[in-house]
Structure 1
Amino acid sequence: MENKDINNESNPSKKALKKQQKAADKAMKKSERAEARNDTKIGEEGDAEDVSQGMYGVSPMIRSSDRPKRQLVAVKDVNKSLDNKTIWLRGRLHT
């Protein structure tokens, strides 16, 4: 039995070698993915323009003090006489 123990310590088994190879492959893939992620983040941050600049911060409270007068037109009343006029409709769309 002592011979087997000595062999195992000096020469790892096929199973142990496979485990080591699998762990090495997994670590390599993980580092490649992390590097690719970093490359895309750097590219996006450098090229992207902030289209919402100046729109950040605390918005004022909506108090409904400025309520525009809107005259809603029923869909059944829409006809040629309202041509070239801006109208307001209220409705629901069912799909």
Structure 2
Amino acid sequence: MKSEIVMHKGFLFPVPTPEIIIRIPNTRKIDHISIEELETAMLLVASKRIGSTKVSLIQEMTRIYGFNRVGEKIRIAMNKAYAQLQINGKIEEIEGKVVVL
């Protein structure tokens, strides 16, 4: 069976794309974690932490992935994942709280 591999946003993915797997505990740098993986994890965390704000959700994601603090690169990656979830209609903010749709 011949499989195809495509590059998407700097990461290699097989075609067809399998389900995104969240890999924790994590020893990777934030640059080595795809936005798609962060989106998947963020959606799961948001569904379990009812009433989270965007800031608390990003802090929790940072902790789950084993980072000591929310540095600039981590903040940018988490904000990209958060924005993509909003664009895709999977989450929205209501009165400052993150709601999974």
TM-score clears 0.5: no
Between Structure 1 and Structure 2, whose CA radius of gyration is higher?
A: 1
TM-score range, shorter chain: under 0.3
Higher relative contact order (CA 8 A, sep 6+): 2
**Which has the larger share of helix?**
1
TM-score, normalised relative to structure 1: 0.19
TM-score w.r.t. length of structure 2: 0.18
